[in-house]
Amino acid sequence: MKKLSKIQWNNYKNSDAGKKAIADFGKLLDPNATIEEFYELAFKYNPEFFKNRSPKEKKEELDVLNFYDSFVYSIRLSIEKEMNGDEIDYGPLYQMISTILISEDAESKFDDIPQSSFKNYLGANIFFTLILSVYFPEYYIPNFFPMQFVYLKELAYKYEMKLPSIPARADYKERWMYYDAVCKMLNEFAVENDIQDLSELCAFIFDYEFSLIKEEMEEEHSKPMPAVPEQAWILVGNYGEGEKTMKEGFWQANELTCKGDIMLFYEKSPVKKLNAVWTALDDGVKDPFFHYYSHTYIGHKIEIPEEKAISFAEFKNSEYFQKREKKGNYVSKNFQDVSGWQVTSDDYKEIKRMLEANGFDTSVLPSLYEPKVMAGVEIIHEDDVSWKLLVPRLEEMGWEYKKDFFDEVEFPAGRGTTGHEMDKRPDFCLHLSGGERDKEAQVVIEVKLHMKNNQEIKSNYEQGITYAKWGNARVLVICDKNQIRVYERNKKNQFVPYDTPTARFRWEDLQVLERRNELKRFLGKR
């Protein structure tokens, strides 16, 4: 675990901003603080969670807080009476309190509570833990991580904390208990760094660090929208009271969603129509604290009038969807539990055809990218990407095979080597130097047939990073039949993240001399 800089931390605590944040969280320790003040604290330090809330929904959430206040207060009194002045054992406490809350029976066993019961409570975990921190401030902190889990991950990485493994989507019990594991990690950090109490720990996390992390991530993720989106997804749900007129907001989505993707919205009962098209404003995020597990932000809504929207009956009567294979067919699933499923390019064509048949002008809808096949080039296998696309382009840039660039290069790695198996060597290396024991390459290139989504891009990026480190490369390239992604080292000598490449090209781009020269500058010898 990496230590917090005491000088920087003390400077923050003595600053106006630091004093204000510590005072804000000091309300959790104030016996005279009100439920409304707790709610406002949550709203201030996790604003995205409360976005598009209506006054009615706010009142309902205040009622939930009042319920948890009475419940946890009675638990605290009971424990104090039982402990008779002894220290509380926090090891089994959260499980015990959760058993009473969720089963409504103190005699129940935690392991006997069904997964579905935990699923129902996940959405209100932020309110439950807020009150837990009021009555058990020695250990628990408010769970202001829903919609902000990505910042917690960055915080753990920065200070080399061991963030617990994220539970599977359907393991609702473990997702509920995940909060307890995170509290343990953060409390260990607080003890290690002499952070005095709950108000200081919360100010450190939710104000001092999260503010810095947000700024850094906004700079890294300020990538422009793609001119033509490459993925489309189906979203299913009903708008809440405050969401009916929202311009943008978060929504359950596939974690593999990319910024700019097309989001087709099917509104459930009683509407039962596909009546809007949104755009993903950011990449999808896996968040175990979010009720639906993964989400993105959507905006740029294109509303389809009721009389032109596609009804459930029209989808079921579509000859295309009747014949479409069942795998991934959200229509054959009657739009049940399919939010976040991918919409293929053929699906999208059929949906646009149906909208046009209903009189809707589909020219206002975004186009979905369809790769252009280069003249005379047929790509069937991974080797075709290497020898029909990549190698000819490298040669067009003036580099010669077996002189400037090589395939299947083996680097020394640790005490051994990368081995003799084909999948243990980078596909291509450009600008080699050194001998067998100190071999290096300025550019490492990994080739795949088709990286279908963000997860596959990430996996191949991580594999390529290993090779690039072995070869001490300054540039990593990963490519498939559709695209070329270039990653350079940043000022910290680290490769830029997988989802924010330094540059990105399509193969047809390289038919334009300026674009080909742009790629050549990235790959050139230094």
Distance CA 421, CA 75 (A): 60
Q: What is residue 206's DSSP assignment?
A: I
pTM for the whole thing? Answer: 0.73
Out of 3-7, 415-419, 468-472, least confident range: 415-419
Structure confidence by residue, pLDDT tens digits, 234-250: 999 999 887 888 888 88
Structure confidence by residue, pLDDT tens digits, 307-364: 999 999 999 999 999 999 988 999 999 999 999 999 998 999 999 999 999 999 999 9
159-183 mean pLDDT: 94
The whole-number pLDDT of residue 422 equals 37
CATH of domain 382-523: 3.90.1570
pLDDT above 90 covers what percent of the chain? Answer: 69
pLDDT at 152 over 70: yes
The whole-number pLDDT of residue 285 equals 86
pLDDT band at 458 (very low <50, low <70, confident <90, very high): confident
pLDDT at 33 over 90: yes
pLDDT at 224 over 80: no
Averaged pLDDT of the chain: 91
pLDDT at 414 over 60: no
Q: Of 354 and 225, which is predicted with more confidence?
A: 354
Out of 45-49, 146-150, 366-370, least confident range: 366-370
Q: Within 10 Å of residue 36's Cβ, how many Cβ atoms? A: 11
User: Which CA distances in Å does 67 have to 60, 101, 253, 517?
Assistant: 11, 11, 31, 65
Structure confidence by residue, pLDDT tens digits, 95-112: 999 999 999 776 789 999
Q: What is residue 208's DSSP assignment?
A: I
The whole-number pLDDT of residue 53 equals 87
21-34 mean pLDDT: 97
Structural domain 232-364, CATH architecture: Roll (3.10)
pLDDT at 424 over 70: no
The whole-number pLDDT of residue 423 equals 43
Domain map (residue ranges) of the chain: 6-220, 232-364, 382-523
137-163 mean pLDDT: 93
Residue 266 phi, psi (nearest 5): -105, 115
pLDDT band at 421 (very low <50, low <70, confident <90, very high): very low
The whole-number pLDDT of residue 418 equals 41
DSSP string, 252-298: E--TT--TT-EEEEEETTTT-EEEEEEEESS--EE-TTSTTSEEEEE
Out of 16-20, 27-31, 253-257, 476-480, least confident range: 253-257
375-394 mean pLDDT: 91
User: Which CA distances in Å does 523 have to 10, 175, 263, 435, 442?
Assistant: 45, 44, 36, 22, 8
Q: And the tokens for 28?
A: 């959790």
